[in-house]
Amino acid sequence: MVTLTVSRFAPSPTGLLHLGNARTAFFSWLYARHRGGRFVLRIEDTDASRSRPEHVEALLADMAWLGLDFDAGPGKDTPEGPYWQSQRAGIYEQAFNQLQAMGRAYPCYCTALELELARKMQLSRGQAPRYAGTCRDLTLDQRAAREAEGRQGALRFQVPGGRELRYQDLVRGEQVFSSDALGDFIIQRADGSASFLASNAIDDALMGVTDVLRGEDHVANTPRQLLLLEVLEHRLPRYGHLPLLVGDDGAPLAKRHGATSVSELRGLGYRPEAVLNLLFRLGHSAAVEGWATNAGMIEGFRPEHLGRAPARLDMAQLTHWQKEAVKLAHADQLADWVPATVPADDKAAFIAAVRANLTLPADAKAMADMIYEDLPPLTPELEAIVRAAGAATFEAAVLALDSGADWSGLTRSVREATGRKGRDLFQPLRAALTHALEGPEMAPLLALMGPLRARARFEQALTACQ
Ligand code: GLU
Ligand code: ZN
């Protein structure tokens, strides 16, 4: 029987969606889409003190903006839901009862202080710290005595000794652990809530998740979760651990690396397809060269091409993909970028004229200012170019405008009047009309400027020639 691939993204809503997590979500989404499977979104909001509903809202908005649609999740319930861990306490409780009845879990009454002391002791003996098993063999009377003291028990999973655990990591290859190194771990906290190790593994199993892609920070959790699922007789998912995303200097991503949350990037005007093209190549040696559409990325995704080395985020790459995205965007996707100073009838022509020079909406504003607003004074360099061209150039240009010439007619007239050609012809005209040496093509710019503005700018140049 062929099992349907089910992958998932399971964020803890404790903050903004950063590029690192967005990459995990994207690769998980690609994983499912490439195999024609299902993609599940699960909100891991068991940490009530750090989870915030507004973070879930923002996360859903970011996912929607990126186009990472899910088949089951918040607002898309199925019988395997709910997809909020905070609403699944009863489900975990059942598993905990089962484990206790099987004798595979036991209450632990150790205080934080006692655990810390035991930890220090182990470290001082040069041992790796792990739960010492203090409460493993308490008799019923001993348990009752501790409860009578008012101690709240946490529930620990009893890890079998002497087992060699192996699994095939989708990214890291074969992983081998000894169960002796693990120590009995908490599955239910003293306050009754399920621990991450338990809720995360149980949910993956009950939601039919076949393939888990997640951050490398969870590598050490996997053998524990595999043991737990094995005892609960669940089918084991495959796990793949993605290396950390780091800045171009190799250090963990931080503020100084620039805008790294999805919502910040969206606010700055980055296109979602640019962000996805960036993420697609972070730690994934994609066989797709150049710009890729979503369909192309789904097709070209290869989990076996996920690398083990930390993935470096280079913001220059984002700029590169953003420029590509702007080139390919529909005009209506750029409509918001057009400042109000551009007359409504000119909007489409404006986008067509300046598109090749845009990276972010701020550039559209600069282009609109250049066309429709008063220009800043000529810099000395530009003034020198204008003066070198001389008054004859601009007198001919004004005459051409007055006779209704467009850019090609205007340049022809100036060439005939002055004998200038090539760069000597175009550079001073561009300098006079835009107060810049580079920019969009002049013909559509002149059309947008209109003869009155252009005339005033040539007159200014004439003044500069005196
Ligand atoms: N809530 C966990 C996290 O955000 C999920 C880990 C996992 O994907 O298994 O780190
Ligand atoms: Zn204990």
What was the pLDDT predicted at 1?
61
And the tokens for 166? 């192996």
What was the pLDDT predicted at 46?
87
| Distance from residue 41's CA to the centre of ligand 1 (Å) | 11
Structural contact between residues 360 and 269, judged by C-beta atoms closer than 8 angstroms: yes
| Distance from residue 132's CA to the centre of ligand 2 (Å) | 8
- Examine residue 13 and say whether the peptide bond preceding it is cis (omega within 30 degrees of 0): no
Structurally, what CATH architecture does the domain formed by 88-242 represent?
Alpha-Beta Complex (3.90)
- Which of 24, 85, 200 best tests ligand 1's pocket when mutated (most atoms within 8 Å of CB)? 200
Whether the full predicted model's pTM is greater than 0.85, yes or no, is: yes
11 lines ligand 1 (CB under 6 A): yes
Half-sphere exposure at residue 237, Cβ-oriented, CA atoms within 13 angstroms: 25
What was the pLDDT predicted at 252?
83
Helix (H, G, I), strand (E, B) or coil at 215: strand
What was the pLDDT predicted at 298?
97
Q: Which residues contact 89 (CB under 8 A, 6 or more apart)?
A: 192, 193, 194
The CATH fold of domain 334-465: Arc Repressor Mutant, subunit A (1.10.10)
266 lines ligand 1 (CB under 6 A): no
**Residue closest to 11 by CA, chosen among 22, 3, 1, 2:** 22
**Residue closest to 294 by CA, chosen among 328, 340, 270, 263:** 328
CA torsion sign, 51 to 57 to 60 to 65? negative
The strand pairing partners of 396, in sequence order, are: none
And the tokens for 76? 């898309």
Torsion of CA 230, 231, 233, 234, to 10 degrees: -50
211 lines ligand 1 (CB under 6 A): no
**CATH 1.10.3430.10 for the 255-329 domain, yes or no:** no
And the tokens for 353? 């004229």
Can you tell me which residue has the tokens 């005595």?
Answer: 145
Q: Which residues contact 253 (CB under 8 A, 6 or more apart)?
A: 18, 19, 20, 245, 246, 247, 260, 313
Residue 24 alpha carbon, nearest atom of ligand 1: 8
Burial class (CB in 10 A: 0-12, 13-18, 19+), 244: middle
Read off the amino acid at residue 28: S
What was the pLDDT predicted at 254?
77
Start-end of CATH 3.90.800.10 domains in the chain: 88-242
Start-end of CATH 1.10.1160.10 domains in the chain: 255-329
| Distance from residue 135's CA to the centre of ligand 2 (Å) | 4
88-97 per-position pLDDT tens digit:
999 999 999 9
Strands 105-108 and 154-157 come out as antiparallel
**CB count in 10 Å sphere of residue 10:** 23
205-221 per-position pLDDT tens digit:
999 999 999 999 999 99
Annotate 247-266 with DSSP letters as a single string: -TTSSBP-GGG---BHHHHH
Instruction: State the DSSP H helix or E strand holding residue 36, giving kind and residue range, or none if neither.
Output: none
104 lines ligand 1 (CB under 6 A): no
| Ranges under pLDDT 50 in the chain | none
What was the pLDDT predicted at 168?
97
Q: Which residues contact 106 (CB under 8 A, 6 or more apart)?
A: 100, 135, 136, 138, 155, 156, 158, 184
Residue 204 alpha carbon, nearest atom of ligand 1: 9
Start-end of CATH 1.10.10.350 domains in the chain: 334-465
